[in-house]
Structure 1
Amino acid sequence: MKILFFGRGVISTQYAWAFEQAGHTVEFYVRKGRKETFGSRIELEMWDARKGKKLIKESWNVKLHEEILPNYDLIIMSVNTEQLPEAAQFLSTAAGNTPVLIFNNIWQDLKSSIAPLSLNNVVFGFPGAGGGIADNTLRGGFLKMIFLEKPRAGTEPMNNKVKELFESAHFKISWVKDMQNWLWNHFAMNAAMEAEVIKRGSFPALLNHRASFANVGLHMREMIPVLKARGAKHDAISLLLTKIPPGLLGILFNKVIFAKGSLARLFVEYNNSKAGFAVLEVVREAKKAGIPLPRLTTAFENTEYAKEI
């Protein structure tokens, strides 16, 4: 299969490498000027957890394009949430009839989030990977599991294509019946986490404060009325963060989920992305609905986002 990844970010690069290892052709679309900036190689220091836990260290040749040609079997897009509308607008004309996998976190309803792309040409999924890129070196890793929405009416051929691609590279698919609800809950969890990242200064710094994980649960509890206003139902993520006592949740995150040496911890340690947009989106939504979010709003004090609320 010939696959085009939209952007050469940390998620795109890791899955592209895995697909190339499985015999597929992978290429990247990058904005004008980025091809020269990025160069034709990227250094990889990432953990592959599809079969055990294996450290991949290599200098990998990548093929970058500054335009999209109509000869791909699939386009995979995984971008920062705030970049999604612009990227969808671009692909609506540049992608033609090529099916698109949106491998992304999304807060808006799915149809409007990708407009003017057609839902009939899109499959939604979510990666099981993390990390960051600095000085042209990718540090992070990926798990065996990825999340993929169950086929909607008319999307069966696209879903099957995506399913076969990931399974050919030895990934396991967790099928999501209601992708909209799943993403709403997951986005809220990200907002709860980012509120603490803003306070601590970075994602790695978060790991040094057990109290921050207890606060993540309290932030999530505060957001439940916003989720309900959207028509969202509790899923496993929400139940974990809102039903477990905050003190116990802090221990669970610190000692189990983000235990030293775990891949989940490594994903956060190497995450050098800017936090705050997820919090901003949720706070904006709450303000429209007249729902107070004092904990999340306080997180924005003395930040550049304060003026946007």
Structure 2
Amino acid sequence: MKILFFGRGVISTQYAWAFEQAGHTVEFYVRKGRKETFGSHIELDMWDARSGKKRITESWNVTLHEEILPQYDLIIVSVNTEQLPAAAQFLSTAAGNTPILVFNNIWQDLKSAIAPLSMNQVVFGFPGAGGGIANNTLRGGFLKMVFLENPRAGTEQMNHKVKALFESAHFKINWSKDMQSWLWNHFAMNAAMEAEVLQRGSFAALMNHTDSFANVGRSMREMMPVLKARGAKMDAITLLLTKIPPALLGPLFTKVIFAKGSLARLFMEYNNSKAGFAVLEVVREAKKAGIPVPRLTMALGNT
């Protein structure tokens, strides 16, 4: 397959590398002026956990374009959440009829999030990867698991194409029957984490404070009424964070889920993205619904 990635971010770059290794052609669309800024290669220092735990260190040559031509089998969009509306607007004319995988965190309802693109042109998914890029060096990694929505009426062919692509690169697919609820739950969890990052100063600093995860649990409890007001079904992670006493969440996360040396911890420590947007979006939604979210509101007020 010939695949175009929208942007050369940390998620796009890692999956593009994996797909190229599987024999596919991968290229990147970047904004005007970025081609020269980025250059023709990127340094990789990342972990590939599709089979065991393998460290990849190489200087990888990439192909960048500042325009989109109608010659791709699939376009993959993985951008910062706040950038998705502009990306969808641009692709509604630039992408033609090319199928699009929106591989992204989303807080709006799915149809509104990708307007004016048609839902029949889009498949929704979410990566199992993390990390960050600094000084043209990517540090992070990806797991074997990726998340995809079950086919909707009219998207069966596109969904099969996306499935075949990931399986050709030895990824395992976790299917979601309700991708909307899954993304809402995940976005709320991001907001809870970002609220702590705003307090601690960075994702790496969050990893060093046991009580940070207790606070993440408290923030998730605060957001439960917001999710329920939206009609979201609570997933396993949300229930875990809201049912386990906050005092127990710290040891669980620091000693098990984000244990020192674990890939999950490394992905978080390398994450140098700017925190706050997810918190702001949830606070806005809560205000509309008349639901108090004092912890999140305070986190925003302290920035």
TM-score (norm 1): 0.98
* 1: CA distance, partners of 2:238 / 2:272: 25
Does the alignment pair 1:111 with 2:111?
Answer: yes
Does the alignment pair 1:154 with 2:119?
Answer: no
**What residue in structure 2 maps to residue 217 of structure 1?**
217
Does the alignment pair 1:30 with 2:30?
Answer: yes
* 1: CA distance, partners of 2:235 / 2:58: 39
**What residue in structure 2 maps to residue 59 of structure 1?**
59
Tell me if the contact between 2:123 and 2:149 (Cα under 8 Å) persists in the aligned partners.
Answer: yes
Amino acid at match of 1:58: E
Query: 1:300 deviation in Å?
Result: 1.0
3-state SS of 1:23 partner: coil
**What residue in structure 1 maps to residue 258 of structure 2?**
258
Unaligned ranges ≥5, structure 2: none
* 2: CA distance, partners of 1:148 / 1:247: 33
* 1: CA distance, partners of 2:235 / 2:133: 31
* 2: CA distance, partners of 1:269 / 1:173: 26
Amino acid at match of 2:119: L
3-state SS of 1:170 partner: coil
Tell me if the contact between 2:141 and 2:267 (Cα under 8 Å) persists in the aligned partners.
Answer: yes
* 2: CA distance, partners of 1:52 / 1:20: 20
Pairing of 1:258-297 with structure 2 (within 5 A): 258-297=258-297
Provide Cα deviations, 1:74-99, integer angstroms capped at 9, x if missing partner: 00000000000000000000000000
Amino acid at match of 1:278: A
**What residue in structure 1 maps to residue 77 of structure 2?**
77
3-state SS of 2:301 partner: coil
3-state SS of 2:70 partner: coil
3-state SS of 2:205 partner: helix
* 2: CA distance, partners of 1:234 / 1:57: 39
* 1: CA distance, partners of 2:229 / 2:50: 38
**What residue in structure 1 maps to residue 143 of structure 2?**
143
* 1: CA distance, partners of 2:66 / 2:237: 38
* 2: CA distance, partners of 1:115 / 1:46: 34
Tell me if the contact between 2:199 and 2:302 (Cα under 8 Å) persists in the aligned partners.
Answer: no
TM-score (norm 2): 1.00
Query: 1:129 deviation in Å?
Result: 0.2
Amino acid at match of 2:99: P
**What residue in structure 2 maps to residue 190 of structure 1?**
190
Query: Aligned Cα RMSD in Å?
Result: 0.4
Query: 1:301 deviation in Å?
Result: 1.6
**What residue in structure 2 maps to residue 175 of structure 1?**
175
Provide Cα deviations, 1:5-31, integer angstroms capped at 9, x if missing partner: 000000000000000000000000000
Amino acid at match of 1:151: P
Query: 1:158 deviation in Å?
Result: 0.2
* 2: CA distance, partners of 1:94 / 1:157: 21
**What residue in structure 2 maps to residue 228 of structure 1?**
228
Amino acid at match of 1:195: A
Give every structure 1 segment of 4 or more consecutive aligned residues whose post-TM-superposition deviation is greater than 4 Å: none
Unaligned ranges ≥5, structure 1: 304-309
Query: 1:237 deviation in Å?
Result: 1.3
Amino acid at match of 2:37: T
**What residue in structure 2 maps to residue 306 of structure 1?**
none
3-state SS of 1:265 partner: helix
* 1: CA distance, partners of 2:228 / 2:301: 26
3-state SS of 1:151 partner: coil
3-state SS of 1:300 partner: helix
* 1: CA distance, partners of 2:301 / 2:47: 37
Tell me if the contact between 2:89 and 2:116 (Cα under 8 Å) persists in the aligned partners.
Answer: yes
Amino acid at match of 1:36: E
* 2: CA distance, partners of 1:17 / 1:247: 40
3-state SS of 1:87 partner: helix
Provide Cα deviations, 1:25-79, integer angstroms capped at 9, x if missing partner: 0000000000000000000000000010000000000000000000000000000
Provide Cα deviations, 1:169-220, integer angstroms capped at 9, x if missing partner: 0000000000000000010000001000000000000011000000000000
